[in-house]
Amino acid sequence: MGAAADRIPVVRGLPVLGSVAELARDPGALFVRAYLEHGPVFRVRALNRTLTVLAGPELGRWMGSREGRSCLRSREVWQGLVDEYGATRTLTGLDGPEHRRLREVMRRGYSREALHGRLDELVAITDRCLERDWVPGTAVPVVAAFQYLVTSQLGALLTGRAPVEYVADIRTTILYILNTLVTKQRPTVLLRRREYRRAKARVAELGRTMIRDFRARPPAEAERRTLVDDIMDAHDRDPSLVAENDLVLALTGPYVAGLDTVANTLGCLVHAVLAHPDVLRRVRAEADALFAGGPVTEASIADLSAISGAVQEAMRLYPIAVAQPRVADRDFDYAGHRIREGEPVYCAVTVPHFLPEFFPDPLAFDIDRYGDDRREHAAPGAYAPFGKGPHTCLGKGIADVQMTLTAARLFHRLDLALDPPGSVLRRRAAPTPGPTAGFRLRVTGVRRPPLDRRPGDPG
């Protein structure tokens, strides 16, 4: 079987540099092109690194199977983060029974259950952020505005605290850690920079403050429990599962996991909707009907076919988790090729997002792909915006609600325009794919005023 490993095709690239420019610009497009040319297993060279990539519609099913779970591990991918914080473990770096136990501790706090009965709070928080950053007559820096909004939402609803004063620090910490310790696209010497050391210290300070706040208050009532309550209670019950030195990573996890991912997806979504006037009309009509119908409920959100379709289509066209990095836990065969134990592997689960056999005219923004009459995303292996396998994003349920309701409120409240008109969305690939910092929208008017202040409004 050793010869099979030697026959894994290598994507053509430049001498010495390999495909480093394509990886930096648009790794998803590179993986799609390579899959179409070479099939489900190929290698990509980037300077002195060679990445083994698995791709294709069968990949998601295989990752979730017993075989796939036994072949891949995550520890090395995240060990640099664990060591950097002096921690013992982090959820993303665990596999097997330990991962399942810790995932169960955090499941409720990251799920749609955490929003039960609190959707009006989410609307109130969104209104406050729109009033702060989305001022009529101004050009809004979209990514920064959504980062503030997402941190406010996640803080209030998942941890009971909206640490908006830490947004820049969280963002800087994510940038450095993902680029140097996880994807290894930058040298670790960058971690010596004062900018990073200050930001990391501030995030650690946020975690310690959350611990002190938890210890200082009485136990939360069942319906007001947050992820913080679940993590701290698990630590008190079983310090071997959630150790003292793991608390900062676990408690600040929602901000690290959600800040870039949700903010970047919302930015792409808003640009796509504004670039398609027919979609904009449908989204506005649906949003107006939602907020004219009384308090927002889980049932009323479920009826938002146009807005939900826009969210799903934004996640398809602009996936955040383009590929899931793993390490081979043992020698194994995949699609006729031998992968060796210890070999870094990239699982490019979003390649099928751009295959016409699953999504006809795959580069078109088509919000009707997900309705009952088409259900293009339901084909096995076709759709994986939250990853696949045992490490599928734990917060996917809450992210769906968060993005759907935020988009509805934004288009209900404000008239927006691309700035300049007709501008093309420019994206960057690192540390997570998303719009560039220069992406702006102009607020041309107010369609509806905010509702009366509600509980949960951070203002």
**φ, ψ (nearest 5 deg) of residue 86:** 60, 30
Q: What one-character DSSP code corresponds to residue 18?
A: B
CB 233 within 8 Å of CB 241: no
- Please list the residues that pair with 418 across neighbouring strands: 441
**How many residues in total does the chain contain?**
459
Which domains are seen in the chain, by residue range? Answer: 1-85+322-392 (1.10.630.10)
What per-residue confidence (pLDDT) applies to 451? 65
Give the pLDDT means over successive 10-residue stretches in the chain (459 positions).
68 89 90 97 91 95 95 95 92 94 93 88 94 96 94 85 86 89 87 96 94 90 86 95 94 82 95 98 97 90 96 97 94 95 96 98 98 95 95 91 96 96 89 88 93 45
Cα 364 from Cα 308, distance rounded (Å): 17
Cα 327 from Cα 345, distance rounded (Å): 5
What per-residue confidence (pLDDT) applies to 452? 45
C-alpha distances in Å from residue 281, one per residue of 115, 285, 367, 372, 405: 28, 6, 13, 21, 17
What per-residue confidence (pLDDT) applies to 376? 97
pTM of the predicted structure, to 2 decimals: 0.92
For the chain, percent of residues with pLDDT exceeding 90: 75
Tokens of 30: 């590179």
Virtual torsion, Cα 104, 106, 111, 115, nearest 10 deg: 140
What per-residue confidence (pLDDT) applies to 5? 53
